Amino acid sequence: MMKMRDAMRVVDQYRGGAFVIAAHAARGGWADVSHNKELDLSMAGAMGKSSSLALGVALAKPGRKVILFNGDGALLMNLGTLVTEAQQAPPNLCHIVLENGLYATTGGQPIPGKDRVDFAGMARSAGYRRVFRFDDLEEFASKASEIFTQPGLTFLCLRVEPEIETRPINQRPNRPKPPFQTYRALKERL
Amino acid sequence: MAQETLRPTTILDELKKNGVTHIVWLPDSETNFMFQAMTSQRDIHLVSVCREGEALAIAAGLWMGGKTPVVMIQNTGLFESGDSVRGLGLDVGLPVVMFIGYRGWTRHGVTPDSAARFLEPILHTWGISYYLLESDADVPRISEALAEAGRAQKPVAVLVGKEYG
């Protein structure tokens, strides 16, 4: 199992000009690691729907790589997204699931199917052709070039250590900025 | 009688006239009559979803990327999409038109279907304006809805009141 920020540093090395969405429990980690915050969206609302948002951007901007950090609990809230993504198959979309087996932002309760659900297997069954899963940081880092430089709709499951948040929502760092202005500013940059 | 007909080509022509690029869609009996026409043209891309809550989020991404999507779902699907409407429609100020199949709509009688009875009160609660679409004569309302969404920078609904038109 990896530390979330260590895995994110590997992704950051290869992101280039990618638009990156960090959803829910990934937000704080990615804010610490990213070197191109002008092209980052920290997403907190509409839980489970970050993958659908990422798909829309990828379809609209085929010339720009789109990377999503999703949570395993968030993916379970919108599993049909895997089928929708595979059906549309934008080659510029990389859907990363940070598998920690729990709802990190609500106090660390286990997700349904913890340690039984095979997210990579579900992605394959949904129609994804490029599917990767890593427990080990060194192994992930050694394959990262292949994963991020070759085109094609990609699903990447990374087993990470939980970072459980127990502070009340309004006392947490990295609170998302007002969405009305944030989304418009990013729209201009894309 | 011609005015009572609601033809898919009339709707699609109105969407094309307004520069709509994508229809994000989950089939329902009210917009079923659109299927053949939507899939046999190439000017507007069709994005099929598995559940309606995906639709507004995909539309938000398309809009961020500079496209002009519309969403096409049933009222039951709008209820399922509540958090997407809140988080990505209203909070973001997404200028998108949602075509909503008005299941249970009866212009002249009682409406026993709760899917119909709850629809307009919920749209009022969210502050989402809506236009009724029942025949070709109503189609210019689509342009009005798109214009209002752009002006107000928020979602606007077009209620499709003709089942299996």
The domains of chain B are located at: 2-108+121-160
Please say whether the dihedral angle defined by the alpha carbons of residues B64, B69, B70 and B73, taken in this order, is positive or negative. negative
Domain span at residue A58 reads 4-19+37-189
Please name the member of A46, A55, A60 whose beta carbon is closest to the beta carbon of B88. A46
A61 CB near a chain B CB, below 8 Å?
yes
Please name the member of A45, A55, A183 whose beta carbon is closest to the beta carbon of B58. A55
Q: Is A42 part of any domain?
A: yes
Residue A76: CATH number of its domain = 3.40.50.970
Instruction: Specify the DSSP element, H or E, that contains A64.
Output: none
How are beta strands A93-99 and A102-103 bridged, if at all? unpaired
Give me the residue label for tokens 């539309």.
B59
What is the pLDDT averaged over residues A3-15? 98
B25-77: pLDDT as tens digits: 998 887 888 888 999 999 999 999 999 999 999 999 999 999 999 999 999 99
- What pLDDT, on the 0 to 100 scale, is given for residue B163? 66
What is the pLDDT averaged over residues A32-57? 95
Q: Which residue of A has its CA nearest to B84?
A: A46
Q: Which residues of A touch B45 (CB under 8 A)?
A: 59
Whether residues A80 and B50 touch (CB distance < 8 A) is answered with: yes
What is the pLDDT averaged over residues B104-120? 88
Work out the percent of chain A whose per-residue pLDDT is above 90: 83
Asked whether residue B92 carries a pLDDT value surpassing 90, the answer given is: yes
What is the pLDDT averaged over residues A113-137? 97
Please say whether the dihedral angle defined by the alpha carbons of residues B8, B9, B11 and B15, taken in this order, is positive or negative. positive
The residue count of chain B comes to: 165
Q: Is A180 part of any domain?
A: yes
CATH architecture group of domain B2-108+121-160: 3-Layer(aba) Sandwich (3.40)
Asked whether residue B165 carries a pLDDT value surpassing 70, the answer given is: no
A76 CB near a chain B CB, below 8 Å?
no
Q: Which residue of A has its CA nearest to B49?
A: A84
Interface test with A, best of B91, B96, B154 (most A CBs within 10 A): B91
- What pLDDT, on the 0 to 100 scale, is given for residue B1? 39
Half-sphere exposure of residue A20: CA atoms within 13 angstroms, side-chain side:
25
Whether residues B83 and A56 touch (CB distance < 8 A) is answered with: no
Asked whether residue B96 carries a pLDDT value surpassing 60, the answer given is: yes
- What pLDDT, on the 0 to 100 scale, is given for residue B2? 42
A179 CB near a chain B CB, below 8 Å?
yes
- B78-87, B109-118, B131-140: lowest mean pLDDT where? B109-118
A138-189: pLDDT as tens digits: 999 999 999 999 999 999 999 999 887 777 777 777 777 889 999 999 999 9
Give me the numbers of helices (H) and strands (E) for chain A, helices first please: 8, 8
Mean pLDDT for all residues in chain A: 94
Q: Is A72 part of any domain?
A: yes
Whether residues B54 and A84 touch (CB distance < 8 A) is answered with: yes
Whether residues B58 and A183 touch (CB distance < 8 A) is answered with: no
Q: Is A32 part of any domain?
A: no
Q: Is A70 part of any domain?
A: yes
Q: What is the identity of the amino acid at A145?
A: S
Q: Which residue of B has its CA nearest to A75?
A: B54
B155 CB near a chain A CB, below 8 Å?
no
Instruction: Measure the CA–CA gap between B15 and B23, rounded to whole angstroms.
Output: 10
Q: Which residue of B has its CA nearest to A88?
A: B47
Instruction: Specify the DSSP element, H or E, that contains B11.
Output: helix B8-17
- A27-36, A43-52, B102-111, B119-128: lowest mean pLDDT where? B102-111
Number of CB pairs, chain A paired with chain B, less than 8 A apart:
110
- What pLDDT, on the 0 to 100 scale, is given for residue B35? 87
Q: Is A28 part of any domain?
A: no
Using alpha carbons, select from B30, B10, B8 the residue that is nearest to residue B164: B30
pLDDT tier, A73 (very low <50, low <70, confident <90, very high otherwise): very high
Please name the member of B55, B66, B92 whose beta carbon is closest to the beta carbon of A179. B92
Angle between helices B52-64 and A50-60 (to 10 degrees): 40
A70 CB near a chain B CB, below 8 Å?
no
ipTM over 0.90: yes
Q: What is the number of domains present in chain A?
A: 1
Whether residues B61 and A83 touch (CB distance < 8 A) is answered with: no
Q: Is A94 part of any domain?
A: yes
Centre a 10 Å sphere on the Cβ of residue A56 and count the other Cβ atoms it contains.
31
